[in-house]
Amino acid sequence: MELKSLDIFCEIIDNFGDIGVVYRLGKEFKKVFGENVKIRVILNRLDEFININSNVKNIQNQEIDGIQYVTYEYVKKNMCTFSTANVIIEAFGCTIPEEYMNEAYDNSDLLINLEYLSAEDWIESCHLQESPSGKGKLKKIFFMPGFTEKSGGVIADSFYLDRIKNVIENKEYYRKKYFSEIENVDKKIIGTVFSYEKNFTPLFRDLKSLDKEVVILAMGEKTQEGFKNFFEKNFIEKLGNIYKYGKIEVQFCKFLSQEDYEELINLTDFNFVRGEDSFIRAVLTGKPYLWHIYCQEDYAHMDKIEGFLDKYERQIKGKTSEEYLSEYKKLFKDYNFRRENSLEEGKEEYLFFFNNLKEIERCNSLFKDFLISNCNLINKIKDFIEKF
């Protein structure tokens, strides 16, 4: 099928991950399909988008880099002149305005229900299956992102891959841009931490025993609150925005644009990330990472952690030691084992991670290369639309 126009719908709830994914998709599809394809991104609100992109204005209809961004309210008010696209992406099971869908059933061809990323095995059987909720001429298809060839893959967009290459080739420039406040950069381990509510006592305990200087760039309000909770109970030195606990230095970072964050995590030695979008960005760096997954009832999030570790092990097994796989998997699970997001102290131990950064990076790079070559979501959606 020829793609003539594409509408991407997204309902933002309370985080930056959803808009981060949709913003990335829109830019990449514009590049892939060219100027002849009209692309619109339709959002229920703009607050988070304004934060991640300084070009966004608080208006209901605007064009940025050749893509039209409109609000749900604008669509509802202007449906008489707002024709539907021939292909629609419904991001993360969002609700599309009824006024739009009433027109789409008879005038659009394909609705792709783009689900959240999952590493669980069952998604392969649902991927590209038709939903019975299609109507009229409109076909609705499930698209399930994941970490295998039979899933929908992960977003490995060319903008990000080019940005990675640029940071690697111009490392000194980016060091000056992001590490200007860090003394003796070459002698220190530098990493980002971006988390939900978290008790960081075990992290400081283990870092204190290392014979290395470590700099942590604390990202996001919840991460910074977790560090403040530790600082209130322990003796630290505070110099402006910098906190020192022995050989450990913590800097509280201001909110970064999507592009700046992507540059930073490709410059650091390790990244602790949260959610979905930041996690995939970290995976594609090939650097050492830990994933703080969104917590669900009855430990359902742990099934997703197990699923990811299973897919990771499939690609790494036989290329490293069993001890490495066992220790890395254990840390991943301990880091995430919680009934709810809280400041309760966990059981994770970090010494393996910080004593084996080179081996972790080697293995993570192997996994990254597999995903880019075989599990590129952008290519998979493009191929599916063209063959539909």
For residue 53, pLDDT beyond 90: no
| Mean pLDDT to the nearest integer, 291-319 | 95
Do 313 and 332 form a contact (C-beta atoms < 8 A)? no
**Cα-to-chain-centroid distance, residue 121:** 20
User: For residue 15, what pLDDT band results from cuts at 50, 70 and 90?
Assistant: confident
**Between β-strands 270-274 and 188-194, what pairing exists: parallel, antiparallel or unpaired?**
parallel
Q: Which residues contact 294 (CB under 8 A, 6 or more apart)?
A: 196, 274, 275, 276, 301
> How far is Cα 268 from Cα 273, in angstroms, rounded to an integer?
13
186 token code pair:
């070459």
Reference 364, options 264, 288, 302; nearest CA is 288
Q: Which residues contact 59 (CB under 8 A, 6 or more apart)?
A: none
For residue 129, pLDDT beyond 70: yes
User: What's the whole-model pTM score?
Assistant: 0.92
Residue whose structure tokens are 């084992």: 337
For residue 134, pLDDT beyond 80: no
The mean pLDDT value of the chain amounts to 95
> How far is Cα 157 from Cα 24, in angstroms, rounded to an integer?
8
Reference 34, options 1, 67, 69; nearest CA is 67
User: For residue 12, what pLDDT band results from cuts at 50, 70 and 90?
Assistant: confident
> How far is Cα 339 from Cα 169, in angstroms, rounded to an integer?
43
- List the end-to-end C-alpha distance of the chain, in Å, as a whole number: 5
User: For residue 132, what pLDDT band results from cuts at 50, 70 and 90?
Assistant: confident
> How far is Cα 13 from Cα 25, in angstroms, rounded to an integer?
18
Per-residue pLDDT of 185-224, as tens digits, reads 999 999 999 999 999 999 999 999 999 999 999 999 999 9
pLDDT recorded at residue 14: 67
